[in-house]
Structure 1
Amino acid sequence: MASSFEQYQKRRLISSYFSVVLSIFLVLFLLGALGLFVINSKKITNDFKEDIPMTVFFKNEANDSILNAFDTDLKNARYIKEYAFVHKDSAAKNNVDIVGKDFMEFLGFNPLQNSFDINLKGDYVVADSIKKIESGIKKNEFVSEIIYDKTLVDLVNNNIKKISFWILIISGFFALIAMLLINSSMRLSIYSHRFTIKTMQMVGATKSFIRKPFIWRSIKLGLTGSVLAIIALIALVSYVDGLLPQLHLAKDYVSLGIVFGGVLLVGILITWISTFFATQRFLNLRTDDLY
């Protein structure tokens, strides 16, 4: 009979530990995933903004030396991510491939112009910076036209501001929820040992002596949940890196180190603090209040 009761208590204890580790793992995984998103949000938004092209068309009077000089200027410009020269003959051929008709046969000449397709760095894809870049390029007398989607640029930047604001709000909310959930799990775990705590106190054990094994055990549970969360985050980063290789998330060791270190630290600190105050509460209760 005693053996059956001991097995029941053991299973109950293991189940309690499992639920604590699971709750720590889930909360820290969500918090870590959000942290990765926040840290890499600038990189993600820049990647999107850098896909907005700017096309610079040159007059037919522009010869090779003028085009080569402009090419050199772009190569040395700090605001350029990448660019490509598009010869008017290549543009005509691409037009035929898309439309399916050779307009040059109908017109008898190529009306298209030589151009440069430019992708700016994300930090420069804002209204003020683009206007300055556009004004600088237009100083070249052989530039006939500069085309880019002004409406899309404004729309993207306005949406990024709104999204960034809500990300900060959600991050704060998730951090609060994380602390409350882990704290509740640890308090429930300590609650099941309240009689053991009071018995140890009644036989003369000091408060620090009673707290010590509970704190060490909670730190181990916090470490276990944190390590599981980090493993899951590594899998998540590998998956996202496969979908969006241009972001190089898996190679951003600094950001990954900050998030993983944060997850590990939060898992240890919250479990330690929660256990300290939970044991302190039961140590200060009267025996009658335990029931």
Structure 2
Amino acid sequence: MSSSFDKYQKKRLISSYFSVVLSTTLVLFLLGILGLLVLNTKKVADYYKEQVPMTIFFKNSAKDVEMQQLQKTLALADYTKSANFVSKDQAAVKLTDDIGEDFVAFLGENPLYNSLDVYLNSNFVSVEELEAIVKELSEKSFVNEVSYDKSLVSKLNANIKTIGFWILVACVFFAIVAALLINSSIRLSVYAKRFTIKTMQMVGATKGFIRKPFIWKSVKMGIIAAILALAGMAAMLYYANKSLPQLQLIDNKLLIGSVFAGILVIGILITLISSFFATQRYLNLRTDQLYT
């Protein structure tokens, strides 16, 4: 009979430890993913900003040397990521493919202009910066027009700020939820051993001596959970980088290492603090209060 009860208690304890590790792993994984997302928000935002072109249309009277010189000058400018020349013939072929009709044959001439598609560095993709660049380029005598999608740039910057803010809010929220869930799981595991705690105290064991094995056990579970969470994060980061290699998500090794180290430290600290206060609570209870 006693053996059956011992087996039942052992299974119950293992189940309690498993639930602690599982819940801790899940919240640490979610927290880690949010942390990576927060730290990579700027990189993702910069990538999409740098896909917005500013197009310079040349007058038909513009000389080849003038267009080539401007392209070289822009290539060296601080605000330029790349500058690609598009001849009027290339533009005509592309537009014909897009509309499915040879408009040049219909009109009898090519009405398009030679142009430069300029892609800017992300720091300069704002309406204020672009307007200043447009004004400067428009003053050149051989430039017919400089255009960009002003509404797209405005919405892109506004949406990036909004998304960044809510990601940060979500990260803080889930950090609090993580602490509460892990604390709850630890308290349940300590609750299952409350009679053992009180028995040790009654035979003269000091509070520090009693707390030590519980804290060490919780810290080990925190380390295991953190390692499992980090493995999940690494797998997700690998597949995300494989799907979107242009974002270069794994290039900044120091940043990724900092997030991984942070998750490990959080897993240890939360389990350590939670187990300390959970054992302290039962150490301060009277024997009759253990049944309530």
Q: State the TM-score, normalizing by the size of structure 1.
A: 0.96
Instruction: Give 1:212 deviation, angstroms.
Output: 0.6
- How far has the Cα of 1:168 moved from its partner? 2.1
Alignment partner, residue 196 of structure 2: 196
Fraction of identical pairs, as percent: 55
Q: Identify the residue that residue 185 of structure 1 maps to in structure 2.
A: 185
Report the more deviating stretch, 266-275 or 253-262.
Answer: 253-262
Which residue is equivalent to 2:259? 259
Mapping 1:26-105, distance limit 5 Å: 26-105=26-105
User: Partners of 1:226 and 1:40 in 2: how far apart?
Assistant: 21
Q: CA deviation at 1:79?
A: 1.4
Tell me the equivalent position of 1:208: 208
Report the counterpart of residue 127 of structure 1 in structure 2. 127
In the TM superposition, residue 136 of structure 1 has moved relative to its aligned partner by 2.1
CA contact (8 A) 2:134 2:147 kept: no
What are the Cα deviations for residues 128-170 of structure 1, in whole angstroms up to 9, with x where unaligned?
A: 1111121222232211111211111111112222222222222
The aligned amino acid for 2:263 is: V
The answer to whether structure 1 residue 115 and structure 2 residue 115 are counterparts is: yes
- Aligned-residue offset at 1:58: 0.7
Match of 1:195, as an amino acid? Answer: F
Deviations 1:225-252 (A, max 9, x none): 0000000001111121122111111222
Query: Aligned partners of 2:205 and 2:55: how far apart in 1?
Result: 79
Give the gaps of 5 or more residues in structure 2.
none
Following TM superposition, by how much is the alpha carbon of 1:100 offset from its aligned partner in structure 2, in angstroms?
A: 3.4
- Give the Cα–Cα distance (whole angstroms) in 1 for the partners of residues 253 and 89 of structure 2: 45
More displaced stretch, 140-149 vs 20-29 = 140-149
| Whole-Å separation in 1 of the counterparts to 2:59 and 2:48 | 31
Deviation at 1:75, TM superposition (A): 1.2
Correspondence for 1:236: 236
The reply to whether residue 170 of structure 1 matches residue 170 of structure 2 is: yes
Letter in 2 for 1:99: I
Note the residue ranges of structure 1 that are not aligned, 5 or more in a row: none
- Measure how far apart 1:18 and its partner are: 0.5
Quick one: which amino acid aligns to residue 35 of structure 1?
G
Paired residue secondary structure (1:83):
strand
Question: Structure 1: which amino acid aligns with 2:225?
Answer: G
Residues 19-55 of structure 1, C-alpha deviation per residue, up to 9 Å, x if partnerless?
A: 0000000000110111111000111112122222211
Does structure 1 residue 269 correspond to structure 2 residue 273? no
1:96-152, CA deviations, whole angstroms, 9 ceiling, x for partnerless residues? Answer: 333333333343332211101111122211111111121222232211111211111
Q: Could you tell which deviates more after superposition, 75-84 or 218-227?
A: 75-84
With the length of structure 2 as denominator, give the TM-score of the two structures: 0.96
Q: Runs (4+) of structure 1 moved beyond 6 Å? A: none
- The one-letter code matched in structure 1 to 2:8 is Y
Question: Residue 100 and residue 173 in structure 1: after superposition, are their counterparts in 2 closer, same or farther (change >3 A)?
Answer: closer
Amino acid in the other structure paired with 2:273: I
Query: Helix, strand or coil: the match of 2:250?
Result: helix
Cα root mean square deviation, aligned: 1.3
Amino acid at match of 1:137: L
